[in-house]
Amino acid sequence: MLLTTRPRFLFRQRSHSASSVSEKGASFSTPQANRKNKVNGNRRMSDSNNVAYSNGSKKVFEGDIEKWEPNVYEKELLRRTWSDEFDNLYELGSAIYCYIFDHNPNCKQLFPFISKYQGDEWKESKEFRSQALKFVQTLAQVVKNIYHMERTESFLYMVGQKHVKFADRGFKHEYWDIFQDAMEFALEHRLSIMTDLDDNQKRDAVTVWRTLALYTTVHMRNGFIDGLKGVNRFPPLV
């Protein structure tokens, strides 16, 4: 069903004081993901991204991202920098899809409604509005369960399984890479304009959101690839 009215979300935005997130010297362990975008070659990163990636205090990720468990500081950063207000969600979802279409135009074929519109008129369509909101609702669900990470793996895996129906339109598992890049790009922009974080907190928040983007797409990719094989690691309970 298309979303033509403002949806009711499952949680309310929490208010955070500056003291709710540890300041300088806080424990911070989230690793960095070092990879290339398989769709577009080298990853497209802004200057601020490059600075963050070259920060010697952040390690390249070498562990099992499928079992990632953010620490208390990281969880609070995620909660503090997330908003479930409708306008913020739509702006984020729109930015994610515009990035995807700009950097991999082939992805437009996954959304037949685009061909109904002239030029960029699709950006103002109810179909695009619905799609943009659907994706950020997935992120909202992940953030909601950030203190219960055991719930997120199966949820994201099943989201990936549902994308098998788009394989006939040309959806490929490599496309999860461009979704990851788009999430990182859009979320970093949001963080860059936040005024209640200092520079260190912004760098840390960029890192933890990158890791969450990787965690999200890894599990969705797993679900998609297994779905193509007719495999489901999380069958519904009877």
Domains of the chain, first to last: 46-53+65-228 (1.10.490.10)
Distance CA 153, CA 64 (A): 13
Highest mean predicted confidence (pLDDT) among 22-26, 52-56, 81-85? 81-85
pLDDT class for 238, splitting at 50, 70, 90? low
**Residue 78 in contact with residue 143, Cβ under 8 Å?**
yes
Is the pLDDT assigned to residue 77 strictly greater than 70?
Answer: yes
Cα four-point dihedral sign 186, 189, 193, 197: positive
Mean pLDDT across the stretch 36-41? Answer: 33
Q: Tokens 């003291």 sit at which residue? A: 19
Q: Tens digit of pLDDT for each residue in 200-212?
A: 999 999 999 999 9
Is the pLDDT assigned to residue 26 strictly greater than 70?
Answer: no
**Residue 20 in contact with residue 196, Cβ under 8 Å?**
no
Mean pLDDT across the stretch 179-195? Answer: 91
What pLDDT score was predicted for residue 158? 95
Q: What percent of the chain has pLDDT over 70?
A: 73
Mean pLDDT across the stretch 218-232? Answer: 94
pLDDT class for 47, splitting at 50, 70, 90? very low
Among 147, 222, 212, 204, which Cα is nearest to 183's? 212
Distance CA 14, CA 46 (A): 30
What pLDDT score was predicted for residue 17? 36
- Whether this prediction's pTM lies above 0.95 is answered by no
Lowest mean pLDDT among 59-68, 106-115, 172-181: 59-68
What pLDDT score was predicted for residue 9? 28
Q: Is 134 exposed, middle or buried (0-12, 13-18, 19+ CB in 10 A)?
A: middle
Other C-beta atoms closer than 10 Å to the C-beta of 74 total 25
What pLDDT score was predicted for residue 140? 94
Distance CA 230, CA 164 (A): 10
**Between residues 24 and 178, the one the model is more confident about:** 178
Is the pLDDT assigned to residue 233 strictly greater than 50?
Answer: yes
Is the pLDDT assigned to residue 27 strictly greater than 50?
Answer: no
Distance CA 150, CA 159 (A): 15
Mean pLDDT across the stretch 20-36? Answer: 43
Distance CA 203, CA 185 (A): 14
